[in-house]
Amino acid sequence: MKPKQVIEILKNLTCVVPKDKAEETKQAIDHAINCVGAIEQIKWERDIAISQLNELGYQFGEKIGSDEK
């Protein structure tokens, strides 16, 4: 399931919650949506970092030695 699908499902959950639990459930769902978004941000940043390493001729996890001895 794609993150956007997860977020849509989470947003739609608020309509099936008992009214006495609505506010705390809405807060929990908002936090869950933020977590899904954060995961996507982290994946994007990782991919950018890996591509920058590759542009410099390195692979992810490769030890980079210095010219100094």
> Does residue 37 form part of some domain?
yes
Query: Which pLDDT belongs to residue 38?
Result: 93
Q: How many domains does the chain have?
A: 1
Residue with tokens 């977020």: 7
Residues 25-54: tens digit of each pLDDT: 888 888 988 998 899 899 999 999 999 999
Q: Whole domain around residue 24: which residue ranges?
A: 3-55
Tokens 């991919």 locate to 47
Give domain status of residue 50, yes or no. yes
Q: Mind listing the pLDDT tens digit for each residue in 3-27?
A: 888 888 888 877 777 788 788 888 8
